[in-house]
Copies of this chain bind each other. A is one copy, B any other.
Amino acid sequence: MFDFEVSAEMQALLGRYRDFMDREVHALEASAAGRSFSSLEPELAKVRDRARAERLFAPQVPKEHGGLGLSFREHALVSEVLGRSPVGHYVMNCQAPDAGNMEILHLFGTAEQKARYLSPLARGEIRSCFSMTEPENAGSNPTWLSTQAVRDGDSYVIDGHKWFTTSADGATFAVVMAVTQPDAPPYARASMILVPTDTPGFEHVRKISIMGHQGSGWASHSEIRYRACRVPVQNRLGDEGAGFMIAQERLGPGRIHHCMRWMGICERAFELMCQYAAKREVAPGKPLGTRQMVQDFIAESRAEIDAAKLLIHHAAWKIDKQGQYEARNEVSAIKFYAANVLQRVLDRAIQVHGGLGVTDDTPLAAWWVHERAARIYDGPDEVHKSALARRILKQHGLVVKAEG
């Protein structure tokens, strides 16, 4: 009954990841501060090699594709450890959006698709992107898509406009969500299509400047135009009209891993806050930690991080036991709860650091900048709260439509 034990074997594996992070990844951070991702890639490639050598690379990838084949609940624990550095997931090749793309290629790809797209992804030789959100249509309403893929003989001809296509810069292919059956019911209109980025008509408009940064390579978000972009029908992933079903499949465990990545950030920020509070003096012999307002930050953060982690592990357990559908409420709850804990913990850690907290001398500032979006992407707080409440109200006999 309510067993919170982590197996000795898993503890050992986590220890190896922690050790690797300390030794190889956190050591990079100081020199990485303020540099572009592209300029860091050669160094990161070496760290990836060492991760391969130590058999830590691609923890979530099935063994048949060269990974460690961890279950998704095991990988959640690894994700927390990797989250402690902004590049932790990238180093281990379990970064978004590639991890999600690998997962759906594994589940829904044809042998040919796996060979061409999944294998090099799993080996970390190429990168990919996921092209779903459109500037003209609210992302909170996923069925509202204007991009169309029109069947023309053995091809699809794709026309549309996307943005927040994360990591498109340098990606080999995009997974594009496009309407293929405009007359079907809303959730059966779209298909997922694999589009190599060198296809004519795949037009990279710009890297979107986000909080002052255009970013580069994996660490960037692009606006893309698809103009009469033609790919063979065989590039469709799964069935016609199955786009949303596959997207759901991609999102569920993905949210768990996202949330656990945030928990890694939280734990690191918490540790930095406590370390600084223990040593930084506000008056001779009076470190910050003697101040109750700082103690309040520490205590609230500890309770909230623990609460968020338990909620996430519980949601993961429920997905495991009863499936994604039954765990919808739990997944909605962790999405907004954990993202808000993340923002508050970062805020407190920065505040305790004072001026130092806004500099790039710690990773806190970068997280403050880049994780503000955590409360927005994959569904804003408000959408998840409303969805959760409406499902609960339905159990009490009230049906409220999302369209309000």
| Dominant secondary structure at the A interface | helix
Question: How many angstroms from the CA of A140 to the CA of B378 in the assembled complex?
Answer: 35
A398 with B283, Cβ < 8 A, contacts A34-B212, A299-B386, A372-B368 known: no
CB-CB < 8 A to A213: which residues of B? Answer: 212
For window 214-251 of A, CB contacts with B under 8 Å fall at 214
CB-CB < 8 A to A210: which residues of B? Answer: 358-360, 365
A350 with B372, Cβ < 8 A, contacts A277-B393, A294-B382 known: yes
A184 at the interface (CB under 8 A from B): no
CB-CB < 8 A to A171: which residues of B? Answer: none
Query: In the complex the two chains form, is B350's CB within 8 Å of A164's CB?
Result: no
A325 at the interface (CB under 8 A from B): no
CB-CB < 8 A to A365: which residues of B? Answer: 210-212
Query: In the complex the two chains form, is B398's CB within 8 Å of A298's CB?
Result: no
From A122-130, A145-153, A196-204, A308-316, give the one contacting chain B.
A308-316
Closest to A292 in B: B292
Query: In the complex the two chains form, is A2's CB within 8 Å of B1's CB?
Result: no
Query: In the complex the two chains form, is A351's CB within 8 Å of B376's CB?
Result: yes
A3 with B2, Cβ < 8 A, contacts A290-B400, A333-B302 known: yes
- Please indicate which of the listed interface residues A356, A357, A358, A381 has the most CB atoms of chain B within 10 Å of its own CB: A358
A286 with B404, Cβ < 8 A, contacts A292-B292, A355-B376, A386-B293 known: yes
Q: Which of B333, B360, B368, B395 contacts A303 (CB 8 A)?
A: B333
Mask for A279-313, Cβ within 8 A of B = 1, else 0? Answer: 11111001101111111101110110011101101
For window 134-149 of A, CB contacts with B under 8 Å fall at 135, 138-141, 144
Shortest CB distance A271–B (Å): 8
A397 at the interface (CB under 8 A from B): yes
Query: In the complex the two chains form, is A212's CB within 8 Å of B299's CB?
Result: no
Query: In the complex the two chains form, is A397's CB within 8 Å of B360's CB?
Result: no
A113 at the interface (CB under 8 A from B): no
Shortest CB distance A66–B (Å): 25
A354 at the interface (CB under 8 A from B): yes
A34 with B214, Cβ < 8 A, contacts A4-B317, A404-B291 known: yes
CB-CB < 8 A to A389: which residues of B? Answer: 289, 294-296, 298-299, 302
A10 at the interface (CB under 8 A from B): yes
Closest to A330 in B: B306
Mask for A173-193, Cβ within 8 A of B = 1, else 0? Answer: 000000000000000000000
A-B contact pairs, 7 of them (CB 8 A): A3-B3, A210-B360, A210-B365, A287-B398, A295-B389, A299-B336, A369-B369
**9 A-B pairs with the lowest CB-CB distances in the bound complex, closest first:** A295-B389, A292-B292, A299-B385, A278-B398, A310-B310, A307-B307, A209-B360, A278-B396, A298-B389
New A-B contacts (7) at CB < 8 Å, excluding given A283-B402, A286-B403, A310-B310: A1-B10, A3-B3, A33-B209, A211-B358, A277-B396, A291-B292, A292-B386
